[in-house]
Amino acid sequence: MAIPSTREITQLLIAWNNGDAAALEQLAPLVQAELHRLAKRYMAGERRGHILQTTALVNEAFLRLIDWQKVEWQNRSHFFGLAAQIMRRILVDFARARRREKRGGDAPLVSLSEAAGVAHGQNADLVALDDALQALEKLDRRQARVVELRFFAGLSLEETAEALKVSLSTVRRDWSLAEAWLYRELSKSLMRDK
Amino acid sequence: MNPDRWRQIGQLYHTVLELESAARAAFLDATCGDDDELRREVESLLHAHEQADGFIAGKVAGVVAEMAAQQRNTSFVGRSLGHYQTLSLIGAGGMGEVYLAEDTRLGRKVALKLLPAAFTQDRERVRRFKQEARAASSLNHPNILTIHEIGEASAAEGGAHYIVSEFVEGATLRSMTQSGRLDIGKATVIAEQVAGALSVAHGAGIVHRDIKPENVMVRPDGLVKVLDFGLAKLTETPAPPADTEASTNMSTAPGMVMGTVSYMSPEQARGQKVDHRADIFSLGVVLYEMLAGRRPFEGETMSDVIAALLTAEPPPLRQYRAEATAELEQVVGKCLAKAREARYQSAAELIVELKTIPPGIQMIEATTSRVEVTMPRPVSWRWLPIAATALLLVVLLVWLISWRRSPAAQPDQIKLTSQEQARMANARPINQKAYDDYLRGRFYANRQKKADNETAIMMLERSVALDPNFAAAHAELAQAYVWRFFLFTPGEKQWEEKAFVEVEKALALDKDSAVAHQALGRLLWTPANHFPHEKAIKEYRRALALDPSLGEAQNQLALVYNHIGAFDQALQELQNAVTANPTNNLAQFRIGETLLFQGKYEQALTALRKSPREVNPPLVGSTMAMALLHLGRRDEAAAIIGEFLKDYPGDTDVGLFTSIQALIAALDGRENKSEDKIRSAMERGKGFGHFHHTAYNIACAYAVMKKAEEAIRWLQAAADDGFPCYPLFENDPFLDHLRKDPRFIALMAKLKEQWERYRATL
């Protein structure tokens, strides 16, 4: 596969933003490839659960892929919003596939995830998180977006506020409630699984 | 549930959250009325809120990590690169994947790191990296990972660049901090060792630039190895010219290694030119993280972290670590100063300060007056009553300050360790005259010359006569007696007995006398006792735990390590000793000895030339002669020996020197002369109060003359007599003629087993 230029990727992102659903199909594997490459560099040995990793990873993946000179600065937060959706999709698809693999039974645990210090439970959790997030979208779309931006694009509270064009205190409130709700829902789903 | 209901729940949730917890129940009673479901919803959310902190981030990061890990299936395992065969993947980091590999030529296990192609495109950078990595490795510091080779695979093999280094079994500091905070003692010892590595690297003009927990390995025996010196040369972006606005836009700077932002110094974050003080900052971050279980500058995004490290003060350690003392805060804080001028100006300075931090500190509550009664607070020395231990401390501290370059250090800033505080509490009035004699005697006690030793004994005997309950003087006197019989008059048994008596007196008066334990270590470690290495190690470690600045105990510990072939540990002890006290000439000398045993003859010679001969002329002379012999410089070696025999005709070390003459004669092919010298060496006594080095030299002489049976017999004698130095025997070229002999092979197998046992228990 020929590696597309940053200009092409930027164009795809703009096209997708303008409503071209097919553009996302082209974008996702490109971003995923870049993500893999970067993830390999950053994740191994890093402290698990540390926010910085994911954030740095996402930031850099997109910094590399997208020609920011071509993007107006005020749109940048907006693009991170798109990035968050791509990230969410990639990670959840991956987690879902891995979960299927394990439930399949005969698939050997080929990954060296022990070396990276990763618990296998994470995959199930992320799928559950995605389900919960979808449920939250139905109750309050903005709260779900806050979670998405914060954790799949690594935006700070301030950046999230800017991306959603709402006040910082609103983001704080949304965030507090959404996190509590997700935590509760996930605790429930965990009980069900066991 | 529908969106309206959710909005209602949400509003109530926020309102209740702002109330004091005591007021919440009443408020919910009033607001929810009969709507039990509403109340349950809000309460369960509030409960979740309290527990939820940060949980989502963990899930996302975990999956990203697993995704990365999965990619490694397409790895390099089982392939060969040059004469290396990769066996398994042992790690992957920002700078490539690391494999356990076998060096098929030498049959040894090594670590092989494949560098990502992205970093090796620029030949000039690769060249600079190689130069620096080699330079750091060649420093031969036990805390710096040894690099065997930096290679480039052939085009057929993929053309990758790789680094082959010693294989270190152990854990990265990253994985250690993952499982929680470290003990204060453990953390400071690790930091000290990293600082030791930095100190010598900085001395050679090498800045690491990427100190972080991933780059610090800790072996099961506690020895620290700092990895990846020079590697930053491959990734760094050139510093901007000095006159440009330094604060470049970090988030878009190309090639930035973002994973390490947390450990960056402010000047690195600004893209300014860095010097060795950047490493001191990064080490400060690592130390903080080990102690607090979190980093000093945190943020949810990279730019938050950078902003924090440029502007924010780290939260006080005590916030995360109740038992962190003011001095610990101070040390960490000084490493983390924004302005590099305000940090420690050298890693050596930092080591000295780290050594003053006691391993286990009891929590001191500042508010209660009760504590003051049971535990004396750190006080300015001026206010102390004249007391023996206090004075001893002042001497120590003044010495510390005098070479600690900070001119601002004031006596009233001095903090005492809890040990010292405890001793102060036991302070008692002393006899001024006895104290004066003690100080003078102590000055001479560790100078390894016979006349000085006699002076020390005289002074210290007078001191204990004037004040029979003076523990420190008894301990020093014991040490002086030890030297007397060990170095100067091995034939006179009474000195050994006197030494035992004094050790017992000292320990009876003060069971925590570090010097007494040090003397006891040496007292046990004698030919008559068959050199009980483990017992001696235990006493020296005890002494060092009680007083980490006891350079003599470090020297002694290293000496024992050298005898059992634990060269890494020896070098570590010695480097620490020299760093803490650059005038510790004996440690300086012993570094040379260790290098000689390691087969690094040129370096040994350089180190020995640096150590003043008057430390212990026969010791320095004989070691230097051996290094010269290994380098084929027989005339120079013979000259040193001749000179010594002329200067010290009746010395106890004549036997040792004669054995070296036997070796020289053997190397010259003059067998009869060699046999004569061997006989004479056997007759003329035991060098340094014991015989195993002489025995070893005789074994070498016989081996050179291809007289295998005698050689092996003498080698066995050396080993049995306290010198089971397996790695030396294994590598010494003088023994090469023996290597195919089955008796030699059997002996070596036995010694290896013993050596491995030592290593496992050290």
- List chain B residues with CB under 8 Å of A36: 67-68, 71
> Which among B166, B200, B220 is the end of a domain?
B166
Task: Give B67's contacts in chain A (Cβ within 8 Å).
Answer: 35-36, 39, 91, 94
* DSSP-assigned beta bridge partners for residue B110: B101, B166
* Residue B306 in domain: yes
- Least confident among B289-303, B438-452, B543-557: B438-452
* SS3 of residue A5 by DSSP: coil
CB contact under 8 A, A179 and B178: no
Shortest alpha-carbon distance between residue B118 and chain A (Å) = 11
Judgement on whether residues B645 and B570 belong to the same structural domain of the protein = yes
By annotation, the residues of B acting in catalysis are 210
Residues 6+ apart with CB under 8 A from B543: B514, B515, B517, B518, B521, B550, B553
Between the CA of residue B312 and those of B99, B298, B308, B345, B506, what are the distances in Å?
39, 10, 5, 22, 51
Measured between CB atoms, which of B10, B61, B303 is closest to A50? B61
Residue from the list A122, A157, A186 with its beta carbon closest to the beta carbon of B62:
A122
With CA atoms as reference, report the closest residue to B356 among B410, B282, B421, B412: B421
Same domain as B757, residue B691: yes
Mean pLDDT, residues B105-115 taken together? 79
d(CA A51, CA B262): 12
Min distance A32 CA to chain B CA atoms (Å): 10
For residues B610 and B216, the model is more confident at B216
Last residue of a domain, one of B150, B166, B182: B166
Residues of B in contact with A154 (CB under 8 A): 300-301
Among all residues of chain A, which has the CA nearest to that of B180? A47
Measure CB to CB from residue B61 to each of A53, A59, A186 and give the nearest one: A53
* Banded pLDDT at A188 (limits 50, 70, 90): confident
Q: Which residues of B touch A55 (CB under 8 A)?
A: 300-302
Measure CA B492 to chain center: 38
Q: Is residue B293 part of a domain?
A: yes
Range of lowest pLDDT (B2-6, B48-52, B243-247):
B243-247
- Whether B273 and B309 share a structural domain: yes
Interface pTM, i.e. ipTM: 0.74
A66 chain-B contacts, CB cut-off 8 A: none
Of B132, B166, B200, the domain-final residue: B166
Nearest CA in chain A to B5: A139
- Mark A71-85 as b/e (b = at least 16 C-beta within 10 Å): eeeeebbbbbbbbbb
Task: Give, as one character, the DSSP assignment of residue B144.
Answer: B
Contact A156 B301 (CB under 8 A): yes
Q: How far lies A81's CA from each of A4, A30, A182, B500, in Å?
A: 22, 17, 20, 77
Q: Nearest CA to CA, how far is B179 from chain A (Å)?
A: 10
Nearest to A54 among B57, B94, B261 (CB): B57
Quote the CA–CA distance of B257 and B276 in Å, as a whole number: 19
Confidence band of B392 (pLDDT split at 50, 70, 90): very low
One-letter amino acid at B213 equals P
Task: Name chain A contacts of B60, Cβ cutoff 8 Å.
Answer: 54, 91, 126, 151-152
Number of domains making up chain B = 4
Between B363 and B648, name the one with better pLDDT.
B648
Asked, for residue B676, whether it belongs to a domain, the answer is yes
Same domain, B265 and B130: no
Same domain, B619 and B711: yes
Å between B52 CA and nearest CA of chain A: 6
Q: Do the domain assignments include residue B511?
A: no
Lowest mean pLDDT segment, chosen from A104-113, B379-388, B403-412, B738-747:
A104-113
Residue B49 tokens read as 């809120």
Q: Is the dihedral of CA B337, B342, B346, B352 positive or negative?
A: negative
pTM score: 0.41
- Per-residue pLDDT tens for B711-723? 998 999 899 889 9
Beta-carbon separation of A68 and B252 below 8 A: yes
Distance from C-alpha of B512 to C-alpha of B508, rounded to nearest angstrom: 9
Which chain A residues contact residue B95 at CB under 8 A? Answer: 41
**Disruptive mutation site among A6, A47, A76, A170 for chain B (greatest number of B CBs within 10 Å):** A47
A127 touching chain B per CB within 8 A? no
The residues that bridge with B432 in the sheet, in sequence order, are none
Task: Scan residues 43-82 of A and list those with Cβ closer than 8 Å to B.
Answer: 43-57, 59-60, 63, 68
Picking from B49, B91, B301, the nearest residue to A176 by CB comes out as B49
Alpha helices (H) along B446-513? 450-466, 471-483, 494-509
pLDDT band at residue B305, thresholds of 50, 70 and 90?
Answer: confident
Q: Which residue has the higher pLDDT, B711 or B125?
A: B711
pLDDT of residue B391: 42
Mean pLDDT lowest among A167-171, B45-49, B118-122, B534-538:
B118-122
What tokens were used for B24? 């919440």
Contact call for A36 and B55, based on CB within 8 A: no
Residue B211 phi, psi dihedral angles, 5° rounding: -75, 120
Same domain, B738 and B701: yes
Domain assignment of residue B364, yes or no:
no
Taking 70 as the threshold, does the pLDDT of residue B678 lie above it? yes
Tens digits of per-residue pLDDT, A126-175?
788 888 889 999 999 999 989 888 877 767 788 788 878 899 999 999 99
- What pLDDT is attached to residue B14? 92
Distance CA A56, CA B258 (A): 6
Instruction: State the pLDDT at residue B86.
Output: 83
> Is any Cβ of chain B less than 8 angstroms from the Cβ of A24?
no
pLDDT digits (tens, 9 = 90+) for B620-656: 889 999 999 999 999 999 999 988 888 777 666 788 8
Q: Name, in order, each residue with C-beta under 8 angstroms of B5's C-beta and a sequence gap of 6 or more.
A: none
Per-residue model confidence as pLDDT tens digits over B469-479: 888 899 999 99
Q: Are strands B171-172 and B216-218 parallel, antiparallel or unpaired?
A: antiparallel
What residues of chain A, 86 to 115, have a C-beta less than 8 Å from chain B? Answer: 91, 94-95, 98, 110-113, 115
Q: B63 and A126: CB-CB below 8 Å?
A: yes
Chain A partners within 8 Å of B72 (Cβ): 40, 111-112
Q: What mean pLDDT do residues B144-151 have?
A: 83
Contacts of A126 in chain B (CB under 8 A): 59-60, 62-63
Looking at the structure, tell me whether residues B137 and B95 fall in a common domain: yes
Dihedral of alpha carbons B713, B718, B722, B723, sign: negative
CA distance B671 to B701: 9
What's the average model confidence in pLDDT over B196-217? 88
For residues B229-258, average pLDDT: 45
Give B547's pLDDT tier (boundaries 50, 70, 90): confident
Q: How far is B47 from chain A (nearest CA, A)?
A: 8
Shortest CA distance to A46 belongs to which of B262, B296, B285? B262
Cβ contacts of A60 on chain B, cutoff 8 Å = 256, 258
pLDDT value of position B370 = 29
The label of the residue with tokens 């630039």 reads: B209
Residue B13 domain-assigned? yes
Write out pLDDT tens, residues A12-22. Answer: 777 777 777 67
Quote the CA–CA distance of B97 and B77 in Å, as a whole number: 11
The amino acid that residue B12 corresponds to is L
Task: Report the CATH number that the domain containing residue B295 is assigned in CATH.
Answer: 1.10.510.10
Tokens matching residue A181: 């709700």
Q: In 3-state terms, what secondary structure has residue B535?
A: helix
* In a shared domain, residues B623 and B689: yes
CA distance A101 to chain B (A): 13
Buried b (16+ CB within 10 A) or exposed e, B328-357: bbebbbbbbbbebeebbbbbbbbbbbbbbb
CA atoms within 13 Å, Cβ hemisphere of B119 = 24
CA A64 and chain centroid, separation: 17
Q: What is the CATH number of the domain that holds B617?
A: 1.25.40.10
Q: Which of A36, A52, A112 sits opposite B305 (nearest CB)?
A: A52
Judgement on whether residues B549 and B674 belong to the same structural domain of the protein: yes
CB contact under 8 A, B302 and A94: no
Residues B269 and B301 in one domain: yes
Contact A55 B300 (CB under 8 A): yes
Q: Work out the percent of chain B whose per-residue pLDDT is above 90.
A: 30
**Helix, strand, or coil here: B108?**
strand
The verdict on B7 and B82 lying in the same domain is: no
The answer to whether residues B161 and B177 belong to one domain is no
Position B203 scores a pLDDT of: 84
A42 → closest Cβ in B54, B62, B259: B259
In B525-670, alpha helices (H):
533-546, 551-563, 567-580, 585-597, 601-610, 617-630, 634-647, 654-668
CB contact (8 A) between residue A184 and residue B17: no
Q: Is A175 on the interface with B (CB under 8 A)?
A: no
Residue B562 and residue B543 in contact, taking contact as beta carbons nearer than 8 Å: no
Closest chain B C-alpha to A57 CA, distance in angstroms: 8
Residue A124 touches partner B, C-beta closer than 8 Å: no
- Give the gap in angstroms from C-alpha A17 to the nearest C-alpha of chain B: 23
Q: Which of B11, B181, B301 to mutate to test the interface with A (most CBs of A within 10 A)?
A: B301
Specify if B369 maps to a domain.
no
Which residues from chain B sit within 8 angstroms of residue A187, using beta carbons?
Answer: 48
State which amino acid sits at residue B137: S
Asked if B61's CB is within 8 angstroms of A48's CB, the reply is yes
Q: What domain range includes position B151? A: 75-166
Position B483 in a domain = no
